[in-house]
Amino acid sequence: MSTCPKPNDLLKNMVSDLRELLKARNIENPCMIGIHTGGVWIAEELHHRLAINEPLGKLNITFYRDDFTRIGMHPQVTPSSLPFAVDDQHIVLVDDVLHTGRTIRAALNEIFDYGRPASVIFATLVDRGGRELPIAADVVGATIKLNEGQQIKLTGPDPLQLEIQEST
């Protein structure tokens, strides 16, 4: 059993890294989008701490997954909602765990179906490696190396906790 960092500590670093990055790119009023479900929890925290004006966007990427015919449909009421115009907007996309990169590929596709953003920055609470696509995060809370057969999972929203599970 390895110990996991506390999401709260990681969020502090993410907030300051994001502030710096946005400043370096001269972005003053970004929009933030969280990916259901864990990514929305992290985005809610970041959105609040960065005092972003525009309401938080939420993405349900189920309809953009590349493994739909293999895993099927899981009914749950979490429609996407982007309560702002995406066109020409600077967007901060947020997820909890970055692994293969496939979720982010799907999320980018969905965002572009709403419009053409000026730029997208990607922030993740945890980068666990194992990429299958050329995708990288701009802001990372923690990089965690996992052994084969291990999974890392964020539970929440209150309290937010990271947990390493042995998959069977």
Q: Does 89 bind another protein (CB under 8 A)?
A: no
How far apart are alpha carbons 118 and 53 in whole angstroms? 17
Q: Does 55 bind another protein (CB under 8 A)?
A: no
Q: Does 119 bind another protein (CB under 8 A)?
A: no
Of 68-76, 91-99, 125-133, 146-154, the segment contacting another protein by CB under 8 A is 68-76
Look up residue 81 and give its DSSP letter.
B
Q: Does 147 bind another protein (CB under 8 A)?
A: no
User: Which of 59, 14, 9 minimizes the C-alpha distance to 38?
Assistant: 59
Q: Does 8 bind another protein (CB under 8 A)?
A: no
Binding site for another protein (CB under 8 A): 60, 62-64, 68-73, 75-81, 86-87, 109-110, 112-115
